[in-house]
Structure 1
Amino acid sequence: MNPDPFVIAHGCSMGAYHAVNIAFRYPERFGKVIALSGRYDLTAQIGSFRGLFDGHYDRSIYFNTPSHFIPLLTDEEELQCLRRLEIILAVGRDDQFRRNNEELSRALWEKDVWHALHVWDGEAHRPRSWRRMVSLYL
């Protein structure tokens, strides 16, 4: 068991989605989330990546889609927990998921949730870029 109460959620690509999803759903359990080249809406086709649910949509998908539930979140207690979380999103300027990252960033700002969105030059959806990002943000 880790005696340090500061827990970080981190991931790249689909792992970034999972890190953001769990940290945003349970922000009281995390101190920081670092998400690199993530996709936060698995329902929509983004670039060459198709939607993953073949049009199916229900409450479970909604509550596990940060791009959907954050804009509609109104519970002040949950928002306060999110505001205590250190959030770092990073994506490449030419990455297919850039727009989705920018949309999530806008939704967070609209809820007064401070965070950082770092847009890297070029296409950064690659292990070489992720290693550089991790050394800066972790």
Structure 2
Amino acid sequence: MQERYIKYYSHHLGADNELLIFGNWGYPVIVFPTTMGRYYEAKDFKLIESARSQIEGGKVKIYCPDSIDKYSWYGKHLHPSERIQNHIYYDQYLNEELIPAIMRECNTSKVAVAGCSFGGFHAANFAFRHPDKVSHLFTMGAAFDIRSFLNGFYNENVYFNNPPDYLPNANQPDLWQMNIVLGTCNADFCKPETERLSKILSNKKVNHWLDVRWHGTHDWDIWREMFPEYLNRI
């Protein structure tokens, strides 16, 4: 399984960003790390290994970018307005730098996005904000309401990055074309959040799969089972 490391300067972040890429060719899948996780987390916790056959077979090519959570949602040393602004810079980096480059490399007009736990929030928030760039969304053990991170602070930037708030009013046509899987398990503390998001999508008649078949807790063991199965939907 080919592995490639890239480090490059992001103009939107004003800093270097690091990335691991797995596979020679295949449909592009961006996998976001969990809370304050790094670009190598999916490799270290063997999420990438769980998809080895799909990667080696050329079905998918997986991109694992770094996060900036310690300067955004988890940056408790910063005022909430700075935290949300830093996340907006991250969104701009994804939307205007990273993902267009991936599309060019893979010769596709859209990408798939995925993530476990807080990585699932990142995947969903990007997908729902930019459905014109996302064909598939796979979340595993995710929660989606970030207001609790901001100590009661709320403004327009928070609204437009909190899926339970803005999604009911979203109307981009590509949203109804997306292949969406919301995965959770019976003992996952994020299960109610996943079910809540599913209800919002159902109310909008957005087709999706709420996958609650799994038995276990909020952990990598379950996510390693979910991930290759969801990739088969590509």
Same fold, TM exceeding 0.5?
yes
RMSD between superposed Cα atoms in Å: 1.3
Structure 1 partner of 2:118: 14
**CA deviation string 1:67-92 (max 9, x = no partner):** 11112x153xx1x2110011110011
Q: Is the contact made by 1:91 and 1:118 (CA closer than 8 Å) also made in structure 2?
A: yes
Aligned to 2:183: 90
Residue 36 in structure 1 maps to residue 140 in structure 2: yes
Alignment counterpart, residue 56 of structure 1, candidates 142, 153, 156: 153
Residues paired across the two proteins, number: 127
Deviates most, 61-70 or 116-125: 116-125
Aligned mates of 2:191, 2:170 — CA distance in 1:
26
1:107 is aligned to 2:200: yes
How far off its partner does 1:124 sit?
3.5
User: What SS is found at the alignment partner of 1:130?
Assistant: helix
Task: Give the ranges of 4+ consecutive aligned residues of structure 1 lying more than 6 Å apart after TM superposition.
Answer: none
The 2-side partners of 1:112 and 1:19 are apart by 20
* Greater strand proportion: 2
Query: Is 122-131 or 84-93 further displaced after alignment?
Result: 122-131
TM-superposed CA distance for 1:100, in Å, is 1.1
Query: 1:124 touches 1:130 (CA, 8 Å); kept in 2?
Result: no
What SS does the aligned partner of 1:8 have?
strand
Ranges in structure 1 where 5+ consecutive residues have no aligned partner: 44-50
Alignment of 1:98-137 (within 5 A): 98-137=191-230
| 1:86-118 Cα shifts (integer Å, max 9, x gaps) | 111001122111111111111111111000010
Residue identity in the other structure for 2:113: A
Contact 2:187 2:218 in 1 (8 A): no
What residue ranges of structure 2 are gaps of 5+ in the alignment? 1-104
- Contact 2:110 2:132 survives alignment (8 Å): no
Distance in 2 separating the partners of 1:61 and 1:116: 27
Counterpart amino acid of 1:52? F
Partner residue in 1 for 2:72 = none
Q: Secondary structure at the match of 2:124?
A: helix
TM-score normalised over the length of structure 2? 0.52
The higher-RCO structure (CA 8 Å, 6+ apart) is 1
1:92–1:119 Cα contact (<8 Å) kept: yes
Aligned mates of 2:207, 2:112 — CA distance in 1: 17
- Offset, 1:120: 3.5
Aligned equivalents of 2:179, 2:131: Cα separation in 1: 10
CA contact under 8 A between 1:14 and 1:38: conserved in structure 2?
yes
Letter in 2 for 1:105: S
